[in-house]
């Protein structure tokens, strides 16, 4: 299964690299008025460099997966922690196992993340981070991760121990409660640790946006501008929060690149996602998916072949006086192995997502202006150096957003010079 997974991913990436380089010498006809050859070639190079780096990451993550499972890494770590803690700590040993595992994986990812920011993004002029800011972010996210992750992991392990054979159902309830809580506290408490959020100052834009929101029957606590330019030149806008913490966030990079009419059109697209209940559908889908996953894990964690087949010797009932459970081991093995299988569902998820994007575009065309949205899309493609000539099969597997030309054609807008 892992080989099939790697094979498909490798094949798709090389298809995409070939598609992009095949079209590198000429701007697609429909964009010939809008995008210069130089911009087009920069996008092609950026796409190819990222894909090649992705292949390296793919190989590394496969090696790490094999290292943890069949080569015995997880088994070894478990044994080390068992003898370090002794028999008297039925919760601490599994908790330490989760923590050390996460720490090691984090350390392995670190050089890749550094290279991506300071070599790839830097080379194409996107990176705005200093080494100091990067280190500061790393420190902050580690502290936040420990402050949130450790109590959550302890709660899950405790539930697994205390609630008997239906632990997976209880864990699911706790996990969903936690997810909803995060949706409420993330925008107001966690995101401000990393970025500054200021109320939108531009009065005329505010007026425009407020009118649009009234027209669409949408109430929000506020419009904020985020200092995205501190880290990257990539532009974005998003909705966040839930209930009373709902807010609209514009990256300062977006406001500096788009006209007020284009910002309005982009926001109308985002409102379209709300009107069509895409966010709610996504949350419900995630809840159902987690429930199925946890039920499966509930069953697998009682099967000794599940552990042995993945290179781990389950803790025997008598070992360590019968106090150490296999729950942490089961959680980790499951988290390692499940993505190998769920990858094959990605074309379905991507297709659903692209359908939602078309719906949001149609909503934006009705509530704002299709031509403005089309202009904004072209600008964002240009500024983000996204390729205009993807491989169709790669799109089917990975693209959460339809290619620019399809979106613009579907809206019935023109690709006008911007």
Query: Is there binding between residue 404 and Zn ion (CB under 5 A)?
Result: no
Task: Measure CA 46 to chain center.
Answer: 20
- The CB-of-269 to Zn ion minimum distance in angstroms stands at 6
- The CB-of-317 to Zn ion minimum distance in angstroms stands at 51
Q: DSSP letter for 232, please.
A: B
- The CB-of-78 to Zn ion minimum distance in angstroms stands at 43
Judged by CB under 5 A, the chain residues 52 through 91 that form the site for Zn ion are: none
Q: Which is nearer to Zn ion, 255 or 360 (CB)?
A: 360
Per rule CB under 5 A, count of chain residues that contact Zn ion: 2
How far apart CA 237 and CA 266 sit, in angstroms, is 8
Q: Which is nearer to Zn ion, 247 or 401 (CB)?
A: 401
Q: Which is nearer to Zn ion, 17 or 360 (CB)?
A: 360
127 forms beta bridges with: 232
- The CB-of-400 to Zn ion minimum distance in angstroms stands at 8
x/- site string to Zn ion, residues 359 to 378, per CB under 5 A? Answer: -x------------------
- The CB-of-12 to Zn ion minimum distance in angstroms stands at 23
What is the side-by-side strand order in the sheet with 222-226?
197-199, 222-226, 247-251, 237-240
How far apart CA 280 and CA 291 sit, in angstroms, is 17
How far apart CA 197 and CA 133 sit, in angstroms, is 17
H/E stretch holding 250: strand 247-251
Q: Which is nearer to Zn ion, 100 or 362 (CB)?
A: 362
Contact 340, 5 (CB under 8 A): yes
- The CB-of-241 to Zn ion minimum distance in angstroms stands at 17
Q: DSSP letter for 178, please.
A: H
- The CB-of-356 to Zn ion minimum distance in angstroms stands at 7
How far apart CA 161 and CA 171 sit, in angstroms, is 11
Q: Which is nearer to Zn ion, 333 or 360 (CB)?
A: 360
Judged by CB under 5 A, the chain residues 274 through 293 that form the site for Zn ion are: none
- The CB-of-286 to Zn ion minimum distance in angstroms stands at 17
How far apart CA 4 and CA 15 sit, in angstroms, is 16
Q: Which is nearer to Zn ion, 220 or 326 (CB)?
A: 220
- The CB-of-360 to Zn ion minimum distance in angstroms stands at 5
Q: Which is nearer to Zn ion, 320 or 360 (CB)?
A: 360
Q: Which is nearer to Zn ion, 53 or 239 (CB)?
A: 239
How far apart CA 251 and CA 229 sit, in angstroms, is 8
Distance (Å) of CA 358 to CA 340, 364, 378 = 29, 10, 16
Task: Measure CA 261 to chain center.
Answer: 29
Judged by CB under 5 A, the chain residues 291 through 320 that form the site for Zn ion are: none
Contact 235, 380 (CB under 8 A): yes
Q: Which is nearer to Zn ion, 50 or 269 (CB)?
A: 269
CA-nearest of 122, 124, 5, 60 to 387 is: 124
Q: Which is nearer to Zn ion, 31 or 363 (CB)?
A: 363
CA-nearest of 404, 382, 378, 403 to 393 is: 403
Judged by CB under 5 A, the chain residues 339 through 358 that form the site for Zn ion are: 357
Contact 306, 330 (CB under 8 A): yes
x/- site string to Zn ion, residues 237 to 266, per CB under 5 A? Answer: ------------------------------
- The CB-of-394 to Zn ion minimum distance in angstroms stands at 19
* Sequential DSSP letters for 127-141: B---HHHHHHHHHHH
Binding site for Zn ion (CB under 5 A): 357, 360
């Amino acid at each position: 299964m892992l080989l099939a997974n790697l094979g498909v991913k490798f094949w798709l990436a090389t298809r995409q690299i070939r598609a992009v380089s095949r079209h590198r010498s000429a701007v697609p006809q429909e964009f010939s008025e809008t995008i210069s050859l130089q911009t087009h070639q920069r996008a092609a190079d950026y796409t190819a460099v990222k894909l090649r780096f992705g292949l390296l990451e793919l190989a590394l993550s496969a090696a790490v997966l094999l290292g943890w499972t069949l080569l015995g890494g997880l088994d070894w770590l478990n044994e080390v922690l068992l003898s370090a803690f002794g028999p008297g700590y039925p919760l601490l040993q599994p908790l330490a196992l989760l923590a050390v595992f996460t720490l090691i994986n984090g350390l392995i990812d670190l050089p890749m993340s550094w290279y991506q920011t300071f070599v790839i993004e830097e080379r194409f002029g996107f990176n705005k981070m200093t080494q100091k800011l990067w280190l500061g972010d790393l420190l902050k996210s580690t502290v936040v991760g420990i402050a949130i992750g450790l109590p959550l992991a302890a709660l899950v392990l405790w539930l697994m121990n205390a609630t008997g054979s239906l632990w997976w159902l209880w864990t699911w309830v706790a996990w969903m409660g936690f997810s909803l809580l995060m949706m409420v506290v993330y925008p107001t408490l966690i995101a401000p640790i990393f970025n500054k959020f200021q109320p939108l100052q531009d009065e005329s834009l505010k007026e425009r946006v407020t009118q649009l929101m009234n027209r669409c029957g949408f109430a929000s606590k506020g419009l904020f501008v985020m200092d995205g330019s501190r880290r990257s030149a990539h532009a974005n806008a998003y909705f966040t929060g839930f209930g009373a913490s709902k807010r609209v966030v514009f990256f300062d990079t977006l406001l500096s690149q788009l006209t007020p009419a284009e910002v309005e059109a982009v926001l109308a697209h985002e409102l379209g996602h709300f009107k069509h209940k895409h966010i709610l559908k996504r949350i419900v889908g995630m809840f159902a998916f987690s429930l199925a996953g946890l039920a499966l894990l509930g069953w697998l964690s009682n099967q000794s072949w599940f552990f042995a087949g993945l290179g781990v010797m389950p803790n025997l009932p008598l070992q360590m006086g019968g106090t150490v459970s296999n729950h942490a081991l089961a959680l980790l093995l499951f988290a390692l192995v499940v993505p190998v299988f769920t990858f094959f569902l990605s074309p379905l998820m991507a297709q659903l997502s692209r359908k939602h994007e078309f719906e949001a575009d149609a909503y934006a065309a009705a509530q704002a202006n299709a031509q403005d949205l089309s202009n904004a899309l072209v600008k964002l493609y240009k500024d983000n150096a996204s390729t205009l000539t993807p491989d169709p099969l790669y799109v089917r597997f990975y693209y959460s957003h339809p290619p620019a030309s399809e979106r613009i054609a579907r809206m019935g807008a023109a690709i006008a010079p911007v």
